[in-house]
């Protein structure tokens, strides 16, 4: 009986959630999602510091589309484990907080392969990442559930299994504004929420008015507080570094308007603690996006 009790206690502590006091310092300020870790260099990481980034989210896996549970549902690594470990250590040596962001299917085989003892998630956790972040969007909600009763059970097990990798490991979720109320994602199981509120304009396809009351920069960011009101933990606002060419306005003007909306939201919503840009691939040296981030590096909310 005593042995059983001890095991139960150990399991509880290993799977307990992280506290807001532990998570918030990881999330404050500016972050960047690093889209292609296989080709990211230390020089590029150093450049991110000049852009005011204090947190990097390395994209670790890609989603593998599937139609039936007989298909291969396992996520696709974006870089080899050894490369990811090297990158994590380089980033932390430079002083960054580091988060590993992963796509995964609502399928037991996918989650098992990702979170097994010698799996990719285990490698990045052992390398010392500050947290894991799961990108659960339309692919997650629209894909068939395999090995679980429903999407919510899959999400709950995804978080529980992740927390077994390290005691009090912070586990977050990122999704876009249109999925804020999607019950299949199970945001309440996670320690933080990165809400993607990308105000973008593709001139080739047309775009909404620049007016922030009708979909322009600042509009989506202002909706984040209300859209995430049911979530009790820390919140990051995801901003776009792509498709910022609004007719009659500079890229810097558009990005400034979105960023100001985040700053305004922070004054009334204490849950909003930081923002992150998608993504490194849209931040080439000398671009207007980079110039804007450099200009706001020391004053970003």
* Residue 149 domain flag: yes
Average pLDDT per consecutive 10 residues, the chain (301 residues; last block may be shorter): 34 64 97 97 96 98 96 97 98 98 98 95 98 97 98 98 96 97 97 97 77 84 97 98 93 97 97 98 97 95 82
For residues 241 and 294, the answer to whether their CB atoms sit within 8 Å is: no
* Residue 107 domain flag: yes
* Residue 16 domain flag: no
* Residue 13 domain flag: no
Residue tagged 């039936």 (tokens): 68
Give the CATH number, domain containing residue 86. Answer: 3.20.20.80
Determine the pLDDT at residue 15.
61
Determine the pLDDT at residue 209.
79
Distances from the Cα of 1 to the Cα of 4, 5, 6, 8, angstroms: 5, 6, 9, 11
Number of domain units in the chain: 1
In which domain, by residue range, is 243 found? 34-295
First-residue to last-residue Cα distance in the chain: 53
* Residue 269 domain flag: yes
* Residue 84 domain flag: yes
Determine the pLDDT at residue 17.
83
* Residue 102 domain flag: yes
Q: What is the pTM of this model?
A: 0.93
Q: Which of 279, 282, 181, 269 is nearest to 230 (CA)?
A: 181
* Residue 123 domain flag: yes
């Amino acid at each position: 009986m005593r042995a059983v009790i001890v095991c139960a206690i150990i399991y509880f502590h290993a799977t307990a959630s992280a506290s807001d006091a532990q998570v918030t310092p990881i999330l404050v300020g500016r972050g960047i999602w690093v889209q292609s870790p296989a080709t990211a260099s230390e020089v590029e990481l150093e450049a991110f510091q000049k852009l005011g980034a204090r947190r990097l989210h390395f994209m670790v896996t890609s989603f593998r589309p599937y139609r039936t549970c007989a298909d291969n549902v396992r996520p696709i690594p974006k870089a080899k484990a050894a490369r990811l470990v090297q990158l994590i250590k380089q980033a932390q040596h430079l002083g960054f907080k580091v988060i590993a962001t992963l796509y995964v299917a609502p399928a037991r085989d996918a989650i098992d392969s990702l979170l097994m003892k010698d799996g990719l998630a285990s490698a990045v956790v052992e390398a010392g990442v500050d947290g894991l972040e799961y990108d659960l969007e339309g692919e997650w909600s629209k894909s068939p559930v395999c090995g679980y009763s429903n999407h919510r059970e899959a999400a709950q097990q995804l978080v529980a299994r992740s927390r077994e990798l390290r005691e009090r490991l912070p586990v977050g979720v990122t999704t876009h504004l249109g999925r804020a109320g999607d019950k299949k994602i199970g945001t309440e199981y996670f320690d933080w929420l990165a809400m993607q509120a990308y105000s973008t304009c593709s001139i080739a396809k047309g775009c909404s008015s620049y007016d922030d009351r009708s979909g322009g920069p600042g509009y989506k960011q202002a909706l984040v507080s209300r859209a995430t009101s049911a979530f009790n933990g820390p919140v990051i606002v995801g901003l776009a570094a792509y498709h910022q060419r609004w007719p009659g306005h500079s890229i810097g003007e558009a990005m400034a308007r979105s960023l100001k909306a985040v700053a305004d939201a922070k004054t009334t919503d204490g849950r909003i603690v930081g923002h992150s840009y998608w993504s490194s691939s849209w931040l080439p040296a000398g671009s207007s996006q980079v110039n804007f981030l450099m200009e706001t590096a020391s004053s970003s909310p």
